[in-house]
Amino acid sequence: MPVIRTVGLTHVYNQGSPFEKAAVNDINIEIEKGDFIGVIGHTGSGKSTLIQHFNGLLKPTSGKIFIDEEDLWADKARLRQCRFKVGLVFQYPEYQLFEETVAKDIAFGPRNMGLSEEEIKQRVAEAAEFVGLKEKHLERSPFDLSGGQKRRAAIAGVIAMRPEVLILDEPTAGLDPKGREKILTQIRNYHKVTGNTVLLVSHSMEDIARYADKVLVLADAQIKFFDTVDNVFSHAQELTGLGLEVPQITKVFLGLAERGYPVRRNIYTVEDGKNEILRLKAELNKGGVQHA
């Protein structure tokens, strides 16, 4: 049973005006529990509009959204509970930090769920551990943290609600390489430990290839591809035509394969590329590979 399912999902901005525009148009998709999905698309493709429908921040102009097969908008009294199932981390979420301490900020969501203080305390500690914040950080003001720590504190506030689906919109935007790596590794570990569904919106094709299992490609308000990383990235030419770029290392190995070198085409990270070159070198040294 899919955790999220959409049927004919369409959202039109400025409907009935000269500026009318469909941001997402007739989206039909099923997202299974436990999926780690990378969401990509050029600016204006509809990514942000789509993910804001998944927890009811936006209401469809037409079509339906089902969370655990429950129509999100069928009963407004149930809408709040459905929203707790899908946690959304906006781009630059640290701008939403406001409490006196990091612990209070992380506790804000669980407290709004009406949980006991004991349960809230447990969830704060658990979420802080997931994002790599130490106990000493919890009693500090969030404004005394580094940029990366603020970002992780904001993500912890969503994780503490234990959503079935965690959606992150460009969670590493503006961070240095070390900060990016740390957050993405922690998101991957969160997915492995909890088995929950994760949707990662990113402009970095290499990050998507490295962490996601499936890729959802949006362009012109519609889904162009939704498949495994290998299957989607094999359409390098079409992706380029959509204003997207496969990782540079992928282009290198596709070029080598086209020239007859016996290398894998599904190389998406520098680490994969290094390992493939070492493999090919070992084969050549054994005399087991011939260049066409």
C-alpha–C-alpha distance, residues 222 and 173, integer Å: 24
Nearest-CA neighbor of 92 among 26, 15, 160, 174? Answer: 174
Q: State the DSSP H helix or E strand holding residue 221, giving kind and residue range, or none if neither.
A: none
Calculate Rg over the CA atoms of the chain: 21
Could you give the 3-state DSSP secondary structure of residue 165? strand
Q: Which two tokens stand for residue 171?
A: 């969670």
pLDDT given for residue 186 in this prediction: 94
Residues 6+ apart with CB under 8 A from 99: 105, 108, 142
pLDDT given for residue 247 in this prediction: 85
pLDDT given for residue 268 in this prediction: 85
**Separation of first and last alpha carbons in the chain:** 47
pLDDT given for residue 122 in this prediction: 97
C-alpha–C-alpha distance, residues 256 and 166, integer Å: 38
Exposed, middle or buried by CB within 10 Å (0-12, 13-18, 19+), for 20?
exposed
pLDDT given for residue 153 in this prediction: 95
In whole angstroms, how far apart are CA 160 and each of 57, 109, 131, 253?
19, 7, 11, 42
Angle between helices 270-286 and 248-258 (to 10 degrees): 30
pLDDT tens digits along 53-91: 999 999 999 999 999 999 999 988 888 888 899 999 998
The residue type at 129: E
Residues 6+ apart with CB under 8 A from 228: 213, 214, 215
Nearest-CA neighbor of 49 among 230, 222, 179, 254? Answer: 222
pLDDT given for residue 289 in this prediction: 57
Sign for the pseudo-dihedral over CA of 46, 41, 191, 127: negative
Partners of 180 in the beta sheet?
none
pLDDT given for residue 78 in this prediction: 86
Angle between helices 102-112 and 117-130 (to 10 degrees): 120
| Ranges under pLDDT 50 in the chain | 292
Domain boundaries, the chain: 247-292
Other C-beta atoms lying within 10 Å of the C-beta of residue 103 = 22
> Where would I find the beta strands (DSSP E) of the chain?
2-13, 21-32, 36-40, 62-67, 70-71, 86-89, 165-169, 197-201, 214-219, 222-228
